[in-house]
Each structure stands twice: as C-alpha cells, then as structure tokens.
Amino acid sequence: MSTEIEKVKCLIIGSGPAGYTAAIYAARANMNPVLYQGTQPGGQLTTTNEVENFPGYPEGVTGPEMMIQLQSQAQRFDADVRDGWVTRVDFSGDVHKVWVNDTKEIHCETVIISTGASAKYLGLESEQKYLKLGGGVSACAVCDGFFYKGQEVVIVGAGDSACEEAHYLSKLCKKVTMLVRRDKFRASRIMEARVRNTDNIEILLNTQTVEVLGDGQVVTGVRVKHNDTKEEKDIPATGFFAAIGHKPNTDIFKDYLSLDETGYIINEPGTSKTNVAGVFVSGDAADHVYRQAVTAAGTGCMAALDAERYLAAKE
C-alpha cells in the first residue's frame, strides 16, 4: 500500500460530459485538475451508438467518439486524466481525503463529483446482448427515440418516468407497447391517464419480458408472458426501452453528503454545492429529472466555476 499522500487543488471523480467539462473549465482556471475516469471511462454515453441531440454536431456523433473528443479537449488544457476509480472518501475534516483503488491517498482542496447514474435493466441475456451491440435496446427514450420514428417499439416500466417516456415515444413511433409487470401502475394517476388516453400506446398489465428477439444484429421483437395465464406471445418491435429507473453511483459518499431517498446527491438550488464546503456535484449523480449529456455538461461547468470561487474566497 502506498504511504505517499498526493495533494491536489481540484479532484474530479468520474468522467462523461460532466466530468470532462468540469476538467476543461478547471484547467483553464489554472486549478490543475486531476480527473479519475472511474469504472466506465466516458460514462453512459460510451454505450450509446449515435448522439444526435448534442449541440455542435450537425451530422451526429457516436457516444465513444464524443467522449474521446471531450477528453482530448480537457487534456489540451493540461487536465490530468487518469485511469482508476475512487473507492473511499473522508469528508469529515477540513481536508477532503480520497482513496483511489483502495491504495493511493489524495488530499484535495476541492472535489467535483461526476460519478453519474447507472440505468437499470432487466438483466436478460438477450437484452444485454443487443444493448452491447447497439442494436435496439435503450434506457433513454429522449436520447434514442428519434431512431425509431415510424416504427413499433416496446417499453417496460410502470412509474411516472416510464409513462413519460412512453408518451414521448408515442409522438415518434407508429405503435408503443407498454409492459407493466403487475396488475396496476406505480405512476401517478395523471401520468397513467396520459398513456391510457394515447391511441397508439397499448398497455399490457401483468406481463413480463421473457426474451428480446433479434436477428443477431438488431432487435426484431419481444417475447412476453402473462403472469396469470402463463401464455407467451411475440410482439414485433425494432426497439426495446427499459424504463425501470436509474441508480446514482453515490454509495461511497452516503456517510458525508446529503442524499435523497433514491441516492441522488442533494445540491444547493441553483448551484453545484453540496452540504460539505468545497465538495461539488455535477451531472446525473444529482440529476434525476433531465439526465441528458448537454445538461450534464452544463452542470460540469457550474461545478468548476463554483470550485474556483470557493478557492478564491479562501485566499
């Protein structure tokens, strides 16, 4: 185990649009940021085939390509981008202590958390196969719905977010089949009414996914089973959307930062400030509403500016 302690002015935990944007701004402000990429360098966008709604890319861009470009931009201003992930923190004192890979100890004047959130999936082998292939499985209708314009899709979920995403897809797609595992929705009545009153949304209650069907490259349908009758049937579809929630990657901060009931970090409204002075949050680790690359980038900018002002006030 390393005994040498590194001192850092600005440590950024996590990559993706939030982390890299924070690194760009922090580097340009001479804060000498050190960024650890985490267990998924580049974040959720590295699993996204095409990004067409981020400003500045008129022809679109792949998620991995966009992350490479953001990383390169941060490094152009001498941001120190490193492999590795933060496994433990101690924010109890004046010095913010962080451990990387359980071995390296870093003492930080400021910390920007950009650890994001992970979409929940059903965990079916077929679902994961087409998710990795980029062939029709998604957890973000706003991100990927456009690619299924005029087509038939299936969405799984029963909460407000699932209803919202199903309604969004209904404006683009020929037909949306909504699978609800139980005999009723978990969503609010107004959101349930919205999907029930949409002509091209078919709701199947008491129904669960058995398998995501495909031709080896792209999704072609979904096999479902009725929980009571045990009857199975295949639903033609070119897209399969999981809308069963997200889990923010914030477990290591729970002893020090204020989190909501789901685990999202609570920030001071209108800022990136957490309840611990000198610790800031950006991106999906605090955002359970928008969860878009462009909003994550915006909060990354906010976090770097807030960190800069915090340091300036201490001088």
Active site residues: 140, 143-144
Beta pairing partners, 35? 12, 81
Q: How far apart are CA 18 and CA 138, in angstroms?
A: 21
Torsion of CA 118, 252, 69, 291, to 10 degrees: 40
Q: Residue 241 corresponds to which tokens in the numbers above?
A: 């959307």
At a CB cut-off of 8 Å and minimum separation 6, what does 241 contact? 137, 138, 139, 140, 141, 144, 153, 154, 155, 156, 165, 169
